[in-house]
Amino acid sequence: MAVGDEGLPRLIALPSDWTPLVLASASPRRRDLLASAGLRPEVAPSDVDESLFPGEDAFAACERLARDKARAAAAPRRRGVVLAGDTIVVLDGEALGKPADRAEAAAMLRRLAGRTHQVASSAALLHVASGQLVSGVDVSDVEFSPLDDARLERYLAGDEWRDKAGAYAIQGEAGDFARLVSGRLDTVIGLSLGLVERLVPRLVAELVA
């Protein structure tokens, strides 16, 4: 069950006519987070280039990508609501994406070691029939312990770093050296349920305006 800002379990309620709810992501982490909040969407990943534009602010890019993914997933549909998200690890204003290989993962983790960085997690809700779209981004701070070569190699020996922004998953083995300093843990995992909950009444308001 989802845990809210107040530390109590919380489910997310959607209007009854928002069906189907479509998750524009193949991420099992986002799917599991939504299930913990009582939401079981259809899964329809969208094919969007996740590259940042030259000079683009990392936090703005995170929200833009969620909006782009929502539009792409909604394009072939006539009804329902699409939920899309994106997660970016930011160090000194620079976005660290998903590593292409083990060497790049090692380089990212060495840069993050012993420092505090930000994790931006965006969400976008798009009402297919009307085209109304709302979005936002939440940011959490994560601190890494120092990583010596032996500790780093032990982590890289597994596959957890694959397909992860910043080359780590705080809910997994990386929890041994990554600590949430401020914000929400679900933001770091890949989808802020609090943000999704805040977007629902915003989209409702757009639909009745």
Which amino acids are annotated catalytic?
86
- Nearest 10 degrees: Cα torsion 166, 87, 57, 94: -10
The 10 Å Cβ neighbour count of residue 173 is 16
Q: How far apart are CA 24 and CA 151, in angstroms?
A: 35
List the beta bridge partners of residue 125: 83, 134
Q: How far apart are CA 100 and CA 106, in angstroms?
A: 11
Whether residue 162 contacts residue 111, with contact meaning beta carbons closer than 8 Å, is answered with no
Whether residue 15 contacts residue 81, with contact meaning beta carbons closer than 8 Å, is answered with no
